[in-house]
Structure 1
């Protein structure tokens, strides 16, 4: 099987990153975490903020301890668009139900109660990864996109002990309000309200900062420094570009590689990532053998014109609320089929993500914006998965319709160190016992594999 070497392609970008990053270093706190600082004079004003509010027993009786229902009564707050709940220990699961209702900004109109997906532990760095072992990472629910809001109410109900009553009885107890043996809620519950800010027009982006220059430089062989979009190429143009940049590596090969046309990709600058939030350095694995498909579980109410705002919100939630080094996914896809660069480090490179606990090494994570347990994903989004994987997996010689082996880093399906045979395009649930990427999206992965292989010319 033909396999393209990517090491030569790293040289120019690595030099550019080093030079750009050396211009200025982010401020660090005594714990080693990055501290936010004001934008330099004359630089672009990148909006966004996070409100973090402690939750407390709703009946006011703190003597009931962690088995009491906790929450926040109706409250006026600063503007936000995305909501989630975090707690102290990332290894503790929240067994129960989290619901939120919000008030649209400038109105008296409150939404109905909405459930927030509580099982989010499987979206994270591997257990022994430096990102996970900082002692700073928090447990969390999935984030939920609620739109422009300035009022919020939340309730967190503990689940009943499933060992005593069984899963169905426990769930029924939570929903009906029956009393029983409740599982304790995690310590340190906080409500996180994220404001992505308004999208500044391209003309007002301003000059590159050192951090944004470093993030852009790793893609400088694909688009000009500071570009907001990496343009699409035909399959022929994609092949010619590879031959031009990696001709020596390909000269001795007898067969042309299977690779799909490069899709259009909105860069981090394109979705207005605040680069001072993330950690400065980039983390890489050795190769890309597989792609894991996810849904963000943020809901389906966003418009495609809001996708950049949704991504900025997820990014801020991952970094400021959950305390990861960067957004967890390598790529994101909206319902209209637009593709977005995720974790910084270069779209052609094997960037280490934090998307599939136990299988982040030598893989990439693609998240479709939305929730697909019962809602069907649009064909444009499924096709975007096919186009993206045909190109990116093709760079590393992987067959989207084939199988591969990945070594587990530990999880609830496979012990650490076990070599697991997986589809090259897998769903998150193939590596971890989870509902992600939702049953409706998971059912479309066969179509994505076939289409991706066809784009590669197989």
Structure 2
């Protein structure tokens, strides 16, 4: 039996139950420049001067000792004439150290119809909420450059609390709500981030249809961990619903930097529920916000992929063309660029800055709109789902070192090689690499590494280098186009030295094969099938005949396996379902069976990683929490090294020993930031 990396469920105790988590808030009054309240004072200018306004009166508040909080915001009595103000804050940590001054943007992103709140007069203007992490003191400085002075200014300090489920939210609750041109990505529910429905005082209202998607960023910090995300969402929810008087969180969905999608506005993800995310343009739009500040840091690949996936699904429900335009009528007010009643023609996927006086979704986020549009179009055009957009690769050199291949946050490919004395060398960029997906790699005899990747043109590209005496790739030979158009990352195997079998999913959902015979590339040839993942490819020689064993996840979430010719490409056996289910896609070790010998041990992940035996179906849990397919390196003694991207974006590894029958030690970070 050929060793195949399978994505299988891991037997484990149930995770912590998600429960509503109350948020504690402190509201500290400042009044106004004309009539300061409480401890507020008026000074000339700000500590970090605003050019041209050094002599302008600034409203300030210093609270060096407060109850613990993690999120800070500033609100004031709602007044559309308050427009051009500068808000600067800094916070103090548990060690008594003050942060640098941070400028908060005005966040009048618009209020969906909320007659109850309007009648009660609780709607307030305000800044964006800023996630500061655990803090115990705050200082605020506010000045007006033009327009009216704000009144009834309040400094809002929020403590979102914590819950065991924050660290381990388990699998997303919301999956496959409706059929569409593109599959719905799994989405974590409001309950999973601890939404306290008791503070939601807004009855959902609905538009007649969806015409466009508005892309945002939440601003705030980019250094959050995966475990921070539920608390950040609770803070935004409290700030939007209570501090601003909107009655609920403004965005329809939120996507974190790890690529996880979270339910936002109450009222149904597949519905036309009206959010509060784009002043004057909330009706007929679907608001998607990227968690973080993408004016100061680049977006991540998993996040952009998930933004495109959720927009493609939503557009598929309502027949929206992602490459087209639509006409929306401004509702006016707040920071809207257009007065009420003005008809505005916009792309169907537009940034908040296109309709509001804001930098949202940041310079880096806005620069990704073209990629989002093309990815949405590709997802809708093919109707194909890809559960394995992220992965790593690894090979073992003849000298004994292991080299991993990863995709960095700039989409370049990097290698890192283990050192003979222990530890790892530096990450080294593969020259001229620009990948649109996970890399695949193989080393048939440990003297050379071949890398295959999908390029930005949608085709596959191949490069190779010799492995030197220290196992380090040397003198990359340059990228060679293999052509084709593909909708998944590639898989690659070898049946012996100077051979390759390359497989990928085409635009028709079927797998296609190309072989390198040592002197020529042959292909592309269809292997048929209908899959939702990138493939795994394992070379095998049986009775002197080379073949490739190909595995991929089918629409039923099971791993399907077939064999293909090792000489001229083409199927030699039909696809057959295995007993294993899959959540991220299969992957094999990067060597030919002629080198490592055919085995029965496989490896897989489903949140945590596991080995699986295709013969008897038994599994061996490796634990961990991973966010990519797993690279596998099999050692001569039968032990296995496993590599995957963790929830924090780093590369992590663990080992398994056949002697102990379990993981030799826990997952350890190898470093880097991957997509």
TM-score using structure 1 length: 0.70
User: Conserved in 2, the CA contact under 8 Å of 1:293 and 1:427?
Assistant: yes
Question: 1:356-411 CA deviation, whole Å, 9 max, x = no partner?
Answer: 11111111111111112232111111111100011011111112222122222225
Residues 1:130 and 2:131 aligned together: no
Question: 1:300-359 CA deviation, whole Å, 9 max, x = no partner?
Answer: 121222111111100000111111121111111111111111010111111110111111
Q: In the TM superposition, what is the alpha-carbon distance from 1:113 to its structure 2 partner?
A: 1.6
**Quick one: structure 1 residues 88 and 193, their matched pair in 2 at CA, closer, same or farther if it must change by over 3 Å?**
same
The equivalent of 2:433 in structure 1 is none
User: Conserved in 2, the CA contact under 8 Å of 1:50 and 1:320?
Assistant: no
Residues 1:230 and 2:173 aligned together: yes
Q: In the TM superposition, what is the alpha-carbon distance from 1:190 to its structure 2 partner?
A: 0.7
**Quick one: structure 1 residues 359 and 129, their matched pair in 2 at CA, closer, same or farther if it must change by over 3 Å?**
farther
Task: Write the distance in 2 (CA, Å) between the matches of 1:353 and 1:373.
Answer: 23
User: Conserved in 1, the CA contact under 8 Å of 2:193 and 2:230?
Assistant: yes
Task: Write the distance in 2 (CA, Å) between the matches of 1:131 and 1:146.
Answer: 32
How big is the alpha-carbon RMSD for the aligned residues of Structure 1 and Structure 2? 2.8
The equivalent of 1:430 in structure 2 is 354
User: Conserved in 1, the CA contact under 8 Å of 2:76 and 2:125?
Assistant: yes
Q: Which has the larger radius of gyration?
A: 2
Match of 1:111 among 74, 91, 99: 99
Consecutive unaligned residues of structure 2, counting only runs of 5 or more, are: 1-17, 44-55, 383-675
1:13-412 residue pairs with structure 2 within 5 A?
A: 46-55=21-30, 57=36, 60=41, 68-93=57-82, 95-105=84-94, 107-117=95-105, 119-121=106-108, 123-125=109-111, 130=115, 133-134=118-119, 135-159=121-145, 161=146, 185-201=149-165, 229-232=172-175, 242=179, 259-279=181-201, 281-410=203-332, 412=336
SS at match of 2:240: helix
Question: 1:226-250 CA deviation, whole Å, 9 max, x = no partner?
Answer: x9723555xxxx8xx63xxxxxxxx
The equivalent of 1:445 in structure 2 is 369
SS at match of 2:92: strand
Residues 1:455 and 2:440 aligned together: no
Which structure has the highest strand share of the two? 2
User: Conserved in 1, the CA contact under 8 Å of 2:114 and 2:246?
Assistant: no
Q: In the TM superposition, what is the alpha-carbon distance from 1:275 to its structure 2 partner?
A: 0.4
User: Conserved in 2, the CA contact under 8 Å of 1:125 and 1:132?
Assistant: no
Residues 1:415 and 2:339 aligned together: yes
**Quick one: structure 1 residues 187 and 395, their matched pair in 2 at CA, closer, same or farther if it must change by over 3 Å?**
same
User: Conserved in 1, the CA contact under 8 Å of 2:41 and 2:60?
Assistant: no
Q: How many residues align?
A: 345
**Quick one: structure 1 residues 55 and 362, their matched pair in 2 at CA, closer, same or farther if it must change by over 3 Å?**
same
Task: Write the distance in 2 (CA, Å) between the matches of 1:350 and 1:59.
Answer: 43
Runs of 4+ in structure 1 off by over 6 angstroms are: 202-205
Task: Write the distance in 1 (CA, Å) between the matches of 2:104 and 2:223.
Answer: 14
Task: Write the distance in 1 (CA, Å) between the matches of 2:40 and 2:129.
Answer: 26
User: Conserved in 2, the CA contact under 8 Å of 1:228 and 1:267?
Assistant: no
Consecutive unaligned residues of structure 1, counting only runs of 5 or more, are: 1-42, 162-182, 206-226, 243-257
Q: In the TM superposition, what is the alpha-carbon distance from 1:92 to its structure 2 partner?
A: 3.7
